[in-house]
Amino acid sequence: MTPVQPILITLLVCLSAIALLSLRSRLVPRLVVLVLLAMGIVFVANPQFANWIAHRVGVGRGADLLLYLFSLTSAYLFLMMYSQLRSLERKVTELIRCGALRSAKTPHEMA
């Protein structure tokens, strides 16, 4: 085992623990974190396995395959976050409109 592998595995475990604590009771995201942790540990402990998978799917190196997967995952997460942001903006706008209508005064009340 190279000197960097225990460090990377420790970082993976710490990041996964933080993610699991922040997700609380959501089952599917917790399972995703655990699967990613297991895959990360396998790829760090045995880098040739990533190369083997990469060659099987037609990619030159395991590092390239991981970069492609990371890029696709990042794009997906960006789109999901953007969608949630738009939804929250719509909800805030609706709440502000409701509050404005509730506090609106008729011309007779203003006089």
Q: Considering its fold, how many domains does the chain have in total?
A: 2
Residue 32 lies in a domain: yes
30-42 burial: b if 16+ Cβ within 10 Å, else e: eeebeeebeebbe
Name every residue whose Cβ is closer than 8 Å to that of residue 41 and which is 6 or more positions away in sequence. 9, 12
Q: For residue range 12-28, what is the model confidence (pLDDT) as tens digits? A: 999 999 998 988 778 88
Name every residue whose Cβ is closer than 8 Å to that of residue 44 and which is 6 or more positions away in sequence. 5, 8, 9, 12
- What is the C-alpha to C-alpha distance for residues 97 and 106, in angstroms, rounded to an integer? 16
Q: For residue range 75-99, what is the model confidence (pLDDT) as tens digits? A: 999 999 999 999 999 999 999 999 9
Tokens of 90: 């719509």
pTM over 0.95: no
Could you tell me if 4 and 32 lie in one domain?
A: yes
Could you tell me if 71 and 41 lie in one domain?
A: no
- What is the C-alpha to C-alpha distance for residues 51 and 53, in angstroms, rounded to an integer? 5
Residue 70 lies in a domain: yes
Range of the domain at 13: 1-45
| DSSP three-state, residue 68 | helix
